[in-house]
Amino acid sequence: MLKVGNTVNFTPLICAIMTTEEREIEFQAKIDNGQKIEPKEWMPENYRKQLIRMISQHAHSEIVGMLPEGNWISRAPSLRRKAVLLAKVQDEAGHGLYLYSAAETLGIDRQTLTDQLLTGKAKYSSIFNYPTLSWADIGAIGWLVDGAAIVNQTMLARGSYGPYSRAMVRICKEESFHNRQGYEIMYELANGTEAQKQMAQDALNRWWGPSIQMLGPSDAASINSSETMKWNIKVESNDVVRQRFIDRTVPQAIAAGLTIPDPDLKYNDETEHWEIGPVDWNEFYRVIKGHGPCNKKRLSDRQRAEKEGEWVREAAIAYAEKQNKKMNSIAA
Amino acid sequence: MNVKDISDQGPLWEVFIQSKSGIPHKHAGSLHAPDAEMALTAARDVYTRRGEGVSLWVVQSNSITATTESDSESFFDPADDKVYRHPTFYTVPEGVKYL
């Protein structure tokens, strides 16, 4: 029987013919076969929950991520850099929207997700709770934060859930300009005047640690990893992704003439990997729990934006309803 | 905090993009908007920042009817054993051209 109505973004009830156990076996076989799962298919309740959690947190991170960078739009050093930064921040808004759209295919609505962010119930990436203190921070963010995001998102693009995986592909394409924009800023500053070089180095000193942390806790400490990896929501572990980011980024720093702020950093000739010193996981958990430098400000900025935009939403809805009434009375 | 009315965001729309003329429109994602005109401009801003399309369609999500996974087998089954719909089922005599 065909289902009429909200079918593209609606998941049907479990068919009575198969038991839950049989469904789970069939589902796991699809995952192990590398098949994509689409919105209208049966899925374990925890698969749905994990995805809603991951995708919505990812979406919130994009939206909140607009704030530290938006801070420097009015003070970009040149018109070109201002236009470029505007385009980057616009992209982040778009990325958030792609992700909310993907989350909605799982049977949760946009308003609920927005409320979870605004009431502080939902998490977003720890990295966006840090302030942008100088123009060089904008460079550090594009280079390191977007750089880490690209490594993570390229991995997630191979994940099992169709809409999330497709959103990752679209985002990765757009993210590469962000990465180059940031590196270009850092490279030019590092090869500029002494004051510019110091500004770049200072930004790197502050953003390196949090960027390493943003890829998530080490595997043993990651509570969600075993389920997300069993179901190919995540395809590789946080530690693997983190190592890939480090190996790519250290040579970039060397090429720019900047120093990674880690006295224990060394290259291992045998493993051919760059090894870092201990990660400050206490800082990570402190920030995630709400005690970072900007957590309160980020949340209050989002709450204010929602409140100040209310008249626009009301006006748009009122206009749409008025037009609807007109159409209906003409048709009647 | 008050629980907001879901309609505050407007209904959900599905977005389809035609990347260039001659190619079919392809599903790109969804968005919320109060009416069709705003859905179209929002679709342009969200999904075509890099010249991804020459044409956009927006359709309210609840206007779309789709098959469900549990229906799929029985719904599509009848086509599976009609191999005679494929040209490869037929033998062409040797030397005969343009068939």
SS3 letters for B30-73?
EEECCCHHHHHHHHHHHHCCCCCCCEEEEEEHHHCCECCHHHHH
Confidence bin at A163 (pLDDT 50/70/90): very high
pLDDT in tens, A190-201: 999 999 999 999
Higher pLDDT, A219 or A249: A249
Higher pLDDT, A259 or A324: A259
Q: Do B12 and A9 touch (CB under 8 A)?
A: yes
For chain B, percent of residues with pLDDT exceeding 70: 93
Tell me which residue has tokens 């929602």. Answer: A306
Kindly state whether residue A256 falls inside one of the protein's structural domains. Answer: yes
pLDDT in tens, B52-84: 899 999 999 999 998 887 777 788 888 888 888
Tell me which residue has tokens 């998941």. Answer: A11
Kindly state whether residue A298 falls inside one of the protein's structural domains. Answer: no
CA distance A273 to chain B (A): 36
Q: Do B65 and A4 touch (CB under 8 A)?
A: yes
Nearest-CA residue of chain B relative to A167? B29
CA distance B41 to chain A (A): 13
Between CA B30 and CA A97 the distance in angstroms is: 9
Residues A59-75, mean pLDDT to the nearest whole number: 97
Based on the number of CB atoms within 10 Å of its own CB, is A68 exposed (0-12), middle (13-18) or buried (19 or more)? Answer: buried
Q: Which tokens go with A59?
A: 């979406």
Confidence check: pLDDT of B4 > 50: no
Q: Where are the domains of chain B?
A: 10-89
Best of B1, B3, B5, B8 to mutate (most A CBs within 10 Å, chain A):
B8
Q: Do A1 and B71 touch (CB under 8 A)?
A: yes
Kindly state whether residue A3 falls inside one of the protein's structural domains. Answer: no
Kindly state whether residue A324 falls inside one of the protein's structural domains. Answer: no
Phi, psi of A12 (to 5 degrees): -70, 160
Helices A146-156 and A194-214: crossing angle in degrees, nearest 10, is: 30
Q: What is the dihedral sign for C-alpha B47, B52, B58, B63? A: negative
- Output the pLDDT for position B5: 42
pTM: 0.89
- Output the pLDDT for position B6: 55
Nearest-CA residue of chain A relative to B4? A111
Average pLDDT for chain A = 92
Residues A315-328, mean pLDDT to the nearest whole number: 90
- Output the pLDDT for position A5: 43
Kindly state whether residue A94 falls inside one of the protein's structural domains. Answer: yes
For chain A, percent of residues with pLDDT exceeding 90: 86
Say whether residue B40 is in contact with chain A using an 8 A CB cutoff. Answer: no
Between CA B79 and CA B83 the distance in angstroms is: 8
Structural domain count, chain A = 1
CA distance A142 to chain B (A): 19
pLDDT in tens, B15-43: 999 999 999 999 999 999 999 999 999 99
- Output the pLDDT for position A60: 97
Reported as type and span, the H/E element at residue B15 is: strand B12-18
Note down the domain range covering A149.
20-293
Write out chain A residues lying below 8 Å of B3, CB-based.
115
Say whether residue B11 is in contact with chain A using an 8 A CB cutoff. Answer: no
Phi, psi of A266 (to 5 degrees): -155, 155
Kindly state whether residue A5 falls inside one of the protein's structural domains. Answer: no
- Output the pLDDT for position B7: 55
Best of A2, A4, A8, A92 to mutate (most B CBs within 10 Å, chain B):
A8
Residues A282-295, mean pLDDT to the nearest whole number: 94
Q: Which of A7, A91, A111 sits opposite B8 (nearest CB)?
A: A111
- Output the pLDDT for position A223: 75
**Largest alpha-carbon pair distance within chain A?**
80
Confidence check: pLDDT of A12 > 60: no
Between CA A212 and CA A24 the distance in angstroms is: 36
Confidence check: pLDDT of A97 > 50: yes
Q: Which of A4, A41, A167 sits opposite B69 (nearest CB)?
A: A41
- Output the pLDDT for position A222: 75
DSSP bridge pairs for A290: none
Nearest-CA residue of chain B relative to A87? B49
- Output the pLDDT for position A16: 53
Confidence check: pLDDT of A29 > 70: yes
Reported as type and span, the H/E element at residue B14 is: strand B12-18
Q: Do B49 and A174 touch (CB under 8 A)?
A: yes
Write out chain B residues lying below 8 Å of A174, CB-based.
49-50
Q: Do A6 and B14 touch (CB under 8 A)?
A: no
DSSP bridge pairs for A3: B66
Residues A270-292, mean pLDDT to the nearest whole number: 95
Kindly state whether residue A307 falls inside one of the protein's structural domains. Answer: no
Quick check: A288 and A126 in contact, CB under 8 A? Answer: yes
What is the value of ipTM here, to two decimals? 0.83
The CATH number of whichever domain residue A177 belongs to comes to 1.20.1260.10
pLDDT in tens, A226-248: 888 999 999 999 999 999 999 99
Write out chain A residues lying below 8 Å of B44, CB-based.
none
Domain over B10-89 is classified CATH 3.40.50.1000 = no
